[in-house]
Structure 1
């Protein structure tokens, strides 16, 4: 299909180039023909002019010769006057005055002073037929007549072509003889022609059959020369005058006009070539652009992220299918709409309008994005995350805003599922912890219960002894107080375990740091006594309350403390080293908006491999562990906006540390979430 579309276009270009080339060729050919025709016409005109000049000169010569017999002269005087005429006319080689009659006896004669006697090598009588022919014609015409031309040999192998002219003479109307003038054809060419017309040209007399009779000048390369023939029609004889000129060395362009037109044609060809190249480039660019647009369109259509472009006035200029699906409207319904946007919840329109006015005034929202709420056509609300960036054109000017809109519905659902799963895992971990500590709790409860039973039995024995003195009220009061103290101690142990195991919804509240540590202290005392570990609690009562989920933070502290105790198995470190202790502390952080909690043990510390995987779910160094304790601790701390870190302590051991926000700062930062259109 592409070939069928492109081939006619290339065919048109080929035809156009062929026509221009043919036009240029025909133009050059016609120009050359015109130049040659012009040169030929000029040559013909010059040849006719030369023939006319010779004819006119011969007529003038006839008049000059007639002047010799204006008055009767003696032969000697006539000869002197004829010699003067010969000295003025080099074309004449001899003038004779002949008597009337058929014999034509020579009465007087004169030869040209510029040549040797022409008839000195051969007798004049051999030319008698030509002379008689010319004189007969002259008598018949009663005027000058010319004979045929003939070649007259001379000494040293030379010769010349001659022609006789006979002029009849009359006195008182009666024939008085004839005047015969012998012309040299070469002299006619050299003396009776215009030299300016002969410059760089060849001139010759030819016979009717093309035989060359006399040559004044000749040119080389006769076949390539221009020739013009003029007929010199003389009375009694006709000569053919041939004028030759060299052809003008024509180049590719014969003249300036043709050169200009040719240059324009060549320029047109160059422009057409450049235009063709530009068209090919434009076609390639258009094809690349079409492919890029198709690729971008395919990408935009396949995205699950909604894309929206708006101008500086807030009107929508572009939306992709994901955005249309997000708001439940078609692109035709959305493109061109302004404010208020059709997907704004009715109860949030005023707030969105205010925030939109702030952004259009130049106060753009942060690039990292902000949360908002959209409402579909069916009334369902969709939480979204909007990331906006300015649209910059090729001149560097902002023309609008480009928004990427992410649907947070699935993310919120996953977060809720994760939160529920974490709660179940935490409850399972608490139950497992309670199961492990059940024996310790029963042992610890035996002490207050045994003390209560002992105090009660002693009191009953004293009261049942009739012979004994009555028990003083003060002693009885002390005994009952001891029983109450032991019962309260047992109740606190049981309550702390019950509160820890009981599953509750996550509610963040302001809790004093000492309360968090005190809630888990009874559970830790049992493990510490069993393992021979000294429990140290360092919490400043003046620390501000923290905003947290009490149960989850208690579990974090409990898990970290139990891990610290398990890191110090019996005998490591030894009892006499002074290092067999676990320290739980709450201190002021460098940032006054936070309170730091630290759990420090003096175990063997963490290896490099354990540090790399510590906190990874299901990674554990215990044979009976599940690998979820530290992972849950890290998740809980991150949900509170902080992080769980650890570092070695000297001389041995590890300190786990996390931070909780101060209640006043945390509550001050709460409120309705950031909502923007």
Structure 2
């Protein structure tokens, strides 16, 4: 296996050396073609830069004339323009006959036309301006050589631009460019490092040079045509050749065969490497997964050999017993975490368990001790440790710290006991609140009847009552006392959430039972009662006492919502309406029921109504808008109605006030 791998490696090295030799030649040719392509791209970029710069100059001249339409105003900005554009040698404003109106000369080359007069270049100016007049745009003349003093000279070119103001022709702007200035000022000089750039004629004669490199037949050259309106220039870029010599031609077949042989060897070698890497990666992943899993566990893990010595512990176990891994690995019984007085017991238990090799599935509880003397309960679950050959090499233990579990159990036990006591106190408080709230009305009625009787007995001259009236008053007192007893019983059953005894009660009987109390309170407040009971209403199935209390609460709230003076006595709104009629079942509460199987009770007052804030919290326990209210009435009313299967709702009344409505089920036939 190893010899075969070495042969593959040797073949790979030989093929790689041969392939590299071929690739050197191909790389040299590729570098040459790439350099030539890059050079051609760069010369095209330089030509584009020059063309764009010249176009920007034309736009600048047009804007210059638009802001300075007169020669006097034109002189200052023209001079400023020449200071920022060194490629311009001279700037002239000529009339339609090409006579100068204003002339500005570049401050950088003031003596260009000192040796020969400007009139010597008149043919080129005329040529450019005639072409510009025909094209109605900028035009360039042919380049020409202009001699200077001391045997020097420049290659110049004229550009003529027609100008107009307010739609009227204003003559021509003539710009004299130096080709060397164009190369110097209008190109990206970073591209010219180590290269030569020049303007050439078609026969290769150089007109202007920006930079030059030593002449060499190995230099790379690239040319492009710079098309200007009226004239064309040839731009040439030279660069030294980077290739170092030439290699003989190499047949494509040799490269193909070498590449194919290399691919085969690489495939065979790669397959072997992939197998090994896959096996190593799987092993590394398994080890990393096991390590991450063991390190993340809160359960302590401990491995021991057949003699009971520790061979492995995870971080959770070390943290549990308060010792480092290097202190634990290799140690045997007695363990350092055993309490001193329990060492003999634990030693005997371990010997018995390991000798019989019996490990209960549910584990066993024990007590460990940390170095600081702290003791804590643990649950130990052990199992045999089997190696890859299926032989037992030791024992694996999982240890759970039960300290938190014991604490939570004690806390839950104490919390449950407190909740039971609190629930009993809450029930007692709720019953007391309900009884005190619901007994107010029958006790108030008893007190009222008793006060009337006492007034008659104390002062017979004030008014006389017949025996029948006296008997009637005493019967009313007895009824209200009996009613108070029923209230106490119903409230107690309600608080205990027991099923109350329901009976078939005619709706009119419910109204008649509360009428004396409602009428008495309405008379005191100056409110007129308006009762409308549908004679066709069937009996309802309800707890009579609790429903009477609901009606009493709603009517009392309605009367209190209309205090004296609001609404005014003459408005006709000081009326409390009680309406009883048949109603259809509410779909949300009685799905599937069809037909008029419910009776609706509505209590309407004409008070100020409910604000949105009050309406939102109206049925919240202990929420009240009254100074002496307890906030339990409407909450209890809704609970009672919902226990009967209905719902207590409210809505605005017209023209003002509020209507409270609830439904009770009809007694089944």
* Length-normalised TM-score, structure 2: 0.37
Q: Which has the larger radius of gyration?
A: 1
